[in-house]
Structure 1
Amino acid sequence: MPPQKVVNPGKLSRRMRVRFVGLATWAVVVLLALVLGAINFFNTYRAKREIHAVLDAISDNDGVLPSNIRFGENSVLDAEPEQLFQTRYFSISYNADGSIESLRMDHIAAVTEEKALEYGEMIRTGTKDSGIIRRDHAYYAYRKTAASDGKTLIVVLDSTRTFSSLQIVQSASLSFGLLCTALYVAILTVLSGRVVAPFIRNMENQRQFITNAGHELKTPLAIISANTEVIEMMNGKTEWTDSIHAQVKRLSGLVGDLIFLAKIGEQQDIVLTEVDFSGAAAEAAAAFGPLAAREEKKLSAEIAPDVTVMAEEQSLRELLNILLDNAVKYCDDGGDILLRLFRRKKKRGAVLEVSNPYADGGHTDYSRFFERFYRGDASHSSEKQGYGIGLSMAQELVKQFDGNISASYRGGRIYFTVSL
């Protein structure tokens, strides 16, 4: 028994809810990321600005924090005056030959003299004039200043408390953002059913209307056709009766297509089985070959052997017929239609590609090709028979197979690509 998979189109409501919740959540995540990111950026910028201000003040005062340094609203240092006595730092002054002129350690206790000299030598021989040294869980900001007489002053500021505060704020922001996102998703999931319910109800009403209207139209069309045949029996065939038959045939095809579209949405269970895609594609190409030849167009096929997909066989054949019929209709006069079927690279499944030359396709909006009743020619001329729902039917069929279909234009050719 071939492998089977059941697809339930009745899950449309669930899919719409998932899509709605996903898009809304993405919007909230982006908003939270921007707001919380801006807050953390501002805090980090302000903290680093204060650190550099303190280092500048100490460097400009020969390695000692001046007692008259200003704090408060009119100062870069937005802190309390008590911070003057809480600032932990040390400074080292080097002579031009690299010997130590002075070492001031009276404003720091967490760093030994040995460590201070190690840090100082590393900074003096380094290429950067300022930066951050991280040791274990401590952070030290430094500033190297060279004097005109060749002396070098190095100031190292203990910034552990500042960076620890920044990390706490960042961690709290992340936790807050995740909590808000989780609550938002939970609330939105509960309410999403009410949000999408009107859309689902409207779609169901549309499908029911199309089905009912289609069945109602079949009767008058049958009567028109029968009456026309009676007229032909009485008066013989004329161009007018032939025109009536042609239009009845077109309308009957349209009604059938509309009912087909509606039934796709109404079906509750579709059983997908393993189908010989290569065989179905070869049969479709053979059937449409003579039709293309009558219109002086060439149909060729490149079909990989033994390609199978999970699908419903009759619907898969209908998909092939729609794409080939569309290609024959819109292929440029004397053009060549190419059907290609091949396996995906490094993935299970198959890719079907139907292409044809289309000179007028350079400025076409291909994103709309699968809309119902959309026609590429704005005039909707009847030169090419059709109502613009064939590709919409193809898209609905591909969805039932959990696949994707797309249209593109390259090198003067239009390509319809189906991935299953």
Structure 2
Amino acid sequence: MIKQMQGRFVRIAMLSFTAVLLCLLLGLNGLNYWQTVQELDGEASHLIDQSQNQHQGNQERPPLPKNQGFDWARLWQSYQEPNYHTARYIYAKTDADGKLVTSQLDRMDDYDQGTLANMLSPLLKSSKNRGWIGVLRYYQRTNSQGEKEWLFVDAGRQLQAVTRLAMISLGILVLTLLIIYGLLRYFSNRAIRPLINNIKRQQEFISNASHEIKTPLAVLATNNDVLELTGCKNEWTQSNRRQIQRLNALVEQMLQLARYDEGRVALNPESLDLVVLLKQALDDLEGLLEANQAQVSLNLPDSILLTIDRASFQQVSQVLLENALQYHLAGTEIEIGWRQADKSLYVTNHCQQMSQEQAERLFERFYRPDQGRQRDQGGSGMGLSLAQAVAEGNGWHLKVGMRTETEIEFTIRF
């Protein structure tokens, strides 16, 4: 139980850290990508102006920008003036009919007029004025003559930088999570130590108290036997015997729960046929079946071979069968079946109306949906709790669900 709690603490903490770091990573890379796109669009707009000036007769290229030094005010600007001499781009102009009027390909000699026409063909049918074609960022605007000016900027270097930052941040995320996981594994025991100490004290108290209760119960049982042997057998001694037996069963269940909580149960897995074990359990409960006038329907294959602990399965199946027999509605059928798809055994019976929330609470210790019903029928409120502890100790999954408002199903998945 303590190891499960420690593992749950580590899992929850890791999920929380992962969610926070993943949000930071996505936010950082998203902001970087957005800023890169803004810079490319600003660069494209500026280069269109420069190319337009060239084609209007101004053949002089602008001088290289002066070194302005480091400026904090310019650090977060979404666009900074590009270097006209080193920028790789394609400039094109189309008329109102979509015909190519002007083009400038000398900045990207790996593209020709045919490639440019192929790129422009789908863009002329689109209403978008900016976007991506491979690693090219295109920008389009309409001038006063109704002509469309296009500029395609080679964004390969910028996309590589964006990808590089994403890969680096992803690597940092993985490394950070590994470090956090190691620290959590190392310090988790210390973090939940007060809770662990409380649980251990509770387990020790239950174990010690149960052992201490056993002695006076044995004395009471002996005294009751002596009274009956001396001729004082009556309804009161019979009532005493039943209550002593009930207390003995409760003490034994508490001891078993304590052992499972502490992980002190030795398991002996072996190949067993569940069908044979279930039929043996029903034979043992034949008297209870007759007393409750219950009919059992078996929806089982001829054989179910599993490698499990015999005592654990017998205990869990007995609890589920006794529970179904005690609380089924008169005149209804109890069904025991097997689902091969998920290797699960189920026990279902009709019962008093119950919600799914109430059904799930049946595994709580001493929980009684009907405060008087269980005591009248001899239940202690510990059986299903013990069955769940035994199932978890074996790595099985025991769950409960409501088929209808008056039909409950317990399922063991192996």
TM, length-normalised to structure 2: 0.82
Matched, 1:370 2:366: no
The aligned runs of 1:83-232 (5 Å cut-off) are 87-105=87-105, 109=107, 111-112=108-109, 114-115=111-112, 118-126=115-123, 127-128=125-126, 129=128, 130-134=130-134, 139-145=135-141, 151-231=147-227
For residues 52-98 of structure 1, the C-alpha deviation after alignment (integer angstroms, 9 at most, x for no partner) is 3444566689856999xxx9969995344565766543321123455
- After superposition, residues 287-302 of structure 1 pair within 5 angstroms as 287-302=284-299
Q: Report matched runs for 1:17-96 at 5 Å.
A: 17-56=6-45, 63=52, 78-81=78-81, 87-96=87-96
Contact 2:40–2:137 (CA under 8 A) maintained in structure 1: yes
Alignment size in residue pairs:
395
1:20, CA displacement in angstroms? 3.3
8 Å contact 1:353–1:415 — kept in the other structure?
yes
The answer for the alignment partner of 1:401 in structure 2 is: 394
1:204 CA displacement: 4.0
Distance in 2 of aligned mates of 1:148 and 1:284: 93
The answer to whether the Cα contact below 8 Å between 1:59 and 1:145 also exists between their aligned partners in 2 is: no
Secondary structure at 2:162 match in 1: helix
**SS at the partner of 1:408?**
strand
- Counterpart position of 1:351: 344
Q: CA contact under 8 A between 1:285 and 1:301: conserved in structure 2?
A: no
Kindly indicate whether the alpha-carbon contact (under 8 Å) linking 1:72 and 1:78 is maintained by their aligned counterparts in 2. no
Deviations 1:139-160 (A, max 9, x none): 2111344679764332212223
- Structure 1 vs Structure 2 CA RMSD: 3.4
How far apart are residue 415 of structure 1 and its match? Answer: 0.8
Greater Cα offset, 311-320 or 241-250:
241-250
Secondary structure at the residue paired with 2:408?
strand
Name the counterpart of 2:282: 285
Is the contact between residue 281 and residue 303 of structure 1 (CA under 8 Å) also seen in structure 2? no
Which SS does the other structure have where 1:255 is aligned?
helix
Q: Quick check: 2:141–2:150 contact (8 Å CA) kept in 1? A: yes
Matched, 1:275 2:268: no
Per-residue deviation, 1:409:
0.8
Change in 2 beyond 3 A, CA 1:38/1:365: farther
Distance in 2 (CA, whole Å) between partners of 1:49 and 1:21 is: 41
Q: Which residue of 2 aligns with 1:317?
A: 314
Higher mean C-alpha deviation, range 196-205 or range 182-191:
196-205
What amino acid does structure 2 have at the position aligned with 1:302? Answer: N
**Structure 1 unmatched ranges of 5 or more:** 1-11
Question: Which is further off, 197-206 or 267-276?
Answer: 197-206
Q: What fraction of aligned residue pairs are identical, expressed as a percent?
A: 24
Match of 2:410 among 406, 409, 416: 416
Q: CA deviation at 1:173?
A: 0.8
Q: How many angstroms does 1:304 deviate by?
A: 1.6
Equivalent in the alignment of 1:9: none
Is the partner of 1:274 in helix, strand or coil? Answer: strand
Higher relative contact order (CA 8 A, sep 6+): 1
State the distance in 1 between where 2:186 and 2:53 align. 62
Match status 1:387 vs 2:388? no
What is the deviation of 1:390? 0.8
Q: Write the letter of the residue equivalent to 2:334.
A: I
Which secondary structure does the structure 1 equivalent of 2:370 belong to? coil
CA drift at 1:217: 1.0
Quote the Cα distance in structure 2 between the aligned partners of 1:319 and 1:91. Answer: 79
Aligned residue number for residue 7 of structure 1: none
Aligned to 1:8: none
User: Cα 1:151–1:331, aligned 2, differ >3 Å: closer, same or farther?
Assistant: same
The answer on whether the counterparts of 1:63 and 1:92 sit within 8 Å (CA) in structure 2 is no
How has the CA–CA distance of structure 1 residues 197 and 271 changed in structure 2, closer, same or farther, with 3 Å as cutoff?
A: farther
Distance 2:49 2:330 in 1: 84
Residue type at the aligned position of 1:417: T
Kept in 2: contact 1:123–1:144 (CA 8 A): no
Amino acid at match of 1:413: E
| Residue 279 (structure 1) shift | 0.4
Conserved 8 A contact 2:38-2:78: no
Q: CA deviation at 1:287?
A: 2.9
Could you give the per-residue CA deviations for residues 123-173 of structure 1, whole angstroms, max 9, x where no partner exists?
234444332122xxxx21113446797643322122233222211221121
The question of whether the paired residues in 1 share the 8 Å contact of 2:328 and 2:351 is answered with yes
SS at match of 1:360: coil
Per-residue CA deviations over 1:107-134 (Å, capped at 9, x if unaligned) read: x63x128436523442234444332122
Look up the equivalent residue of 1:41 and give its one-letter code. G
Match among 252, 255, 262 for residue 259 of structure 1? 255
Deviation larger for 206-215 or 388-397: 206-215
CA contact (8 A) 2:43 2:79 kept: no
CA–CA distance in structure 1, aligned partners of residues 168 and 160 of structure 2: 12
Task: Give, as a single letter, the amino acid of the residue that structure 1 aligns with 2:410.
Answer: F
TM-score (norm 1): 0.81
Q: Distance in 2 between matches of 1:147 and 1:419?
A: 71
